[in-house]
Amino acid sequence: MVLSLICPTKDPQPWMAAIQAIAPDVDLRVWPDDGDRADVTFTLVWAQPQGIFAQYPNLQVISSMGAGVDNLLQDTSIPEQVTVVRMVDPRLVSQMGDYVLAAALNHGRQFSRYGQQQRQRQWQPLAPLNLDQITVGVMGLGQIGQAVAQRLGQVGFSVVGWSRRAKAMAKVQVFAGPQQLADFLSASKILVCILPLTPETENILNVETLGQLPPGAYVINVARGHHLAEADLLALLDNHHLAGACLDVFRQEPLPQDHPFWSHPKITLTPHIASLTDPVSVAPQIVENYRRLTAGRPLLNPVDRRQGY
């Protein structure tokens, strides 16, 4: 039984070291030099070459190296019987909380506007805002979104949330499904997108939905670039409906040099670093799933392939 790492865009060494440190008995290989592929039952993958799984006749488990599985599930070579699992990790969750909190506070305390004033040597106090007057809307109330919503609430923001199915959360008003999206959007002065990318959520941040945010709203996208219709965002920033945006993810990454986001005065951007998987932190769940596969027990953090997340 071999565990093969297929991650052409990531350095496999820290992952190998983290797994070997706690499970020296696991037979680890790295694609493309992973020997006889008939021996491989478990793969740990990120940005795999499309179609690669057809080369692994005895594959049983594919584990994403991250929380998102959108790219992985587009691969039509994943056999029906293979189980797909993903990372669910407290460190990933808390990093995302830090990022969203920083972006929301940066906007709430008007640091971007003071930055513009500083460059113009302009001493101009702006009307202060209390955090409880700012309602943050969190789209996607999964492992990460729920924790982010709670964290924003703890520092004093009013928080509402939106997910596919209704759910109860302390101190967060939860809206559910397409029929409650408009009410959710009209309440959100800061909109945070932490949805998985699926056919239903692709381009969900568009002129129609962003246009339903209150005037002067702020958008934070930490999910996937394909959630955002980029030209629609630019139009709504330029006609002053939106005050600004903080973006960590883009339709094309790295963001092309000539992309208008780079120099837009109302956009803050980061290079897809909102929350990074730490191999040491997630190695125990990878090894646990490998052991569960060996013992024929149900795996941790399975993905519903039909649902797409």
Strand partners, 302: 85
88-107 footprint of ligand NDP as x/- string (CB under 6 A): ----x---------------
Judge whether 224 counts as a catalytic residue: yes
Strands 61-64 and 172-176: unpaired
Q: Look-up: residue for tokens 């005895």?
A: 58
Catalytic residue status for 264: no
Q: Which of 10, 241, 264, 272 binds ligand NDP (CB under 6 A)?
A: 272
Among 213, 223, 246, 247, binds ligand NDP (CB under 6 A): 223
Reference 167, options 187, 146, 137, 136; nearest CA is 146
Q: How many CA atoms lie within 13 A of 80 on its CB side?
A: 0
CB-CB contact of 237 with 264 (8 Å) = yes
Beta strands in the chain (DSSP E): 2-6, 27-30, 40-45, 61-64, 83-85, 135-139, 158-163, 172-176, 190-193, 217-221, 242-247, 267-269
Which is the catalytic residue, given 37, 86, 107, 224?
224
In this chain, which of 7, 190, 222, 237 binds ligand NDP, going by CB under 6 A? 222
- Residues 58-87 binding ligand NDP (CB under 6 A) are 66-68
Which of 264, 272, 292, 305 is catalytic? The answer is: 272
- By C-beta, is 201 or 268 nearer to ligand NDP? 201
Beta carbon nearer to ligand NDP, 26 or 44: 44
Q: By CB under 6 A, what part of segment 121-180 binds ligand NDP?
A: 140-145, 163-165
Distance CA 194, CA 196 (A): 7
Tokens coding 289: 């799933």
Q: Is 274 in the site for ligand NDP (CB under 6 A)?
A: yes
- The residues carrying an active-site annotation are 224, 272
Residues that bind ligand NDP (CB under 6 A): 66-68, 92, 140-145, 163-165, 194-198, 200-201, 222-224, 248-249, 272, 274-275, 309
